[in-house]
Amino acid sequence: MNLLFIADPLESFKIYKDTTFAMMREAQRRGHSIATCEPQDVMWQRGASVMAHVRDVTLTGDADRWFEDRGNRAIALKEFDAILMRKDPPFDSEYFYATHLLEQAERDGARVFNKPGALRDHPEKLAIMEFPQFIGPTLVTRDEADIKRFHAEHGDIILKPLDGMGGMGIFRVGPDGLNLGSITETLNRHGAQSLMVQKFLPEIVDGDKRVLVIGGKPVPFCLARIPQGSEVRGNLAAGGKGVARPISARDREIAEALGPILHGRGLLLVGLDVIGDCLTEINVTSPTCFQEIFDQTGCDVAALFIDALEAAIRG
């Protein structure tokens, strides 16, 4: 197969932990060819198919110079067997426009994973609200009075922006309500922006679990991101410690309920975030943790993913 990875600059990859790199490595091991580009390399001219300026690359196996450029070219996206949209968040206006270009490429005949329309329709924090049976007490609002009422009811709460990533902008407010007004004003920009408020889940001490779902089926191991010291956030980007472990019965219940639904919408790879027994996010843009799980358990998540990709293309 000829595969195109739309991702961040290759030079920025930390290959010892990068999931997109793990996908590329497994794809090349199976004999598939690899090209890459960034979202800004995609173009659409009147009367033509959506195209991109791409780099053809070969992985070298060398940790220092891990890829070799084999040349640049402009090519219609429909010429690839599969396009993997792996651009990291934030989901900003440029990401939004990229999904429209990729959706047009689909109309040209391209196969895009995850499906661009599904990326657009599943904002990673808001998407959990479709599945109330699996989430804790949660409120989405821009109204300060609503937030105060929620805090009065639940006492210990978490506030976070809807477009945050890597634990950025997450605040905890305890029963004393200290700084609730100031935090609300910061996050909602004086009523101009919506935010999410959730009851604090003390099970965070055992980790914010990343449960991967590939082709609608749960991977048997998850990565628990455990907060360190006095930190409330388990995100690896915020200093959390990643510990791989078998998924629990509740993790499997959530994944098996959501997996077929999300897969049916064109989401080949999903990362569910679970704290205790509660679903807290549905990650669809560029779910990670493949290498951490493999390194600690031997479960080859990249192989499971390429298996699912090959099956999707054949199907």
- Name the one residue in this structure whose structure tokens are 């997450």: 170
Q: What are the angstrom distances between the C-alpha of 313 and each of 2, 15, 215, 248, 262?
A: 11, 26, 12, 31, 18
The Cα–Cα gap between 216 and 268 comes to 7
CA 161 vs. chain centroid, Å, equals 16
Q: What are the angstrom distances between the C-alpha of 288 and each of 60, 99, 273, 309?
A: 22, 20, 11, 16
- Please identify which of the residues 55, 125, 199, 209 carries the catalytic annotation: 125
Q: What is the pLDDT of residue 181?
A: 96
- Please identify which of the residues 26, 106, 210, 292 carries the catalytic annotation: 210
Q: What is the pLDDT of residue 106?
A: 98
Question: DSSP string spanning 47-71?
Answer: TS--EEEEEEEEE-S-SSS-EEEEE
Q: What is the pLDDT of residue 238?
A: 67
**Other CB atoms within 10 Å distance of the CB of residue 97:** 12
- Please identify which of the residues 55, 86, 199, 225 carries the catalytic annotation: 225
Q: What is the pLDDT of residue 239?
A: 78
Q: Model-level pTM? A: 0.94
179 as an active site residue: the answer is no
Q: What is the pLDDT of residue 259?
A: 98
125 as an active site residue: the answer is yes
- Please identify which of the residues 114, 188, 235, 283 carries the catalytic annotation: 283
Please list the pLDDT of the chain residue by residue as tens digits (315 residues).
999 999 999 999 999 999 999 999 999 999 999 999 999 999 999 999 999 999 999 999 999 999 999 999 999 999 999 999 999 988 889 999 999 999 999 999 999 999 999 999 999 999 999 999 999 999 999 999 999 999 999 999 999 999 887 778 899 999 999 999 999 999 999 999 999 999 999 999 999 999 999 999 999 999 999 988 767 777 777 678 999 999 999 999 999 999 999 999 999 999 999 999 999 999 999 999 999 999 999 999 999 999 999 999 998
- Please identify which of the residues 86, 115, 160, 209 carries the catalytic annotation: 160
Omega within 30 of 0 (cis) for the link into 90: yes
The Cα–Cα gap between 241 and 244 comes to 10
* Greatest pairwise CA separation for the chain in angstroms: 61
Q: Which domains does the chain have, with CATH numbers?
A: 2-117 (3.40.50.20), 137-200 (3.30.1490.20), 203-314 (3.30.470.20)
Q: Which amino acid, residue 191?
A: G
- Please identify which of the residues 18, 38, 208, 273 carries the catalytic annotation: 273
245 as an active site residue: the answer is no
- Please identify which of the residues 233, 235, 251, 292 carries the catalytic annotation: 233
Q: What is the pLDDT of residue 237?
A: 72
283 as an active site residue: the answer is yes
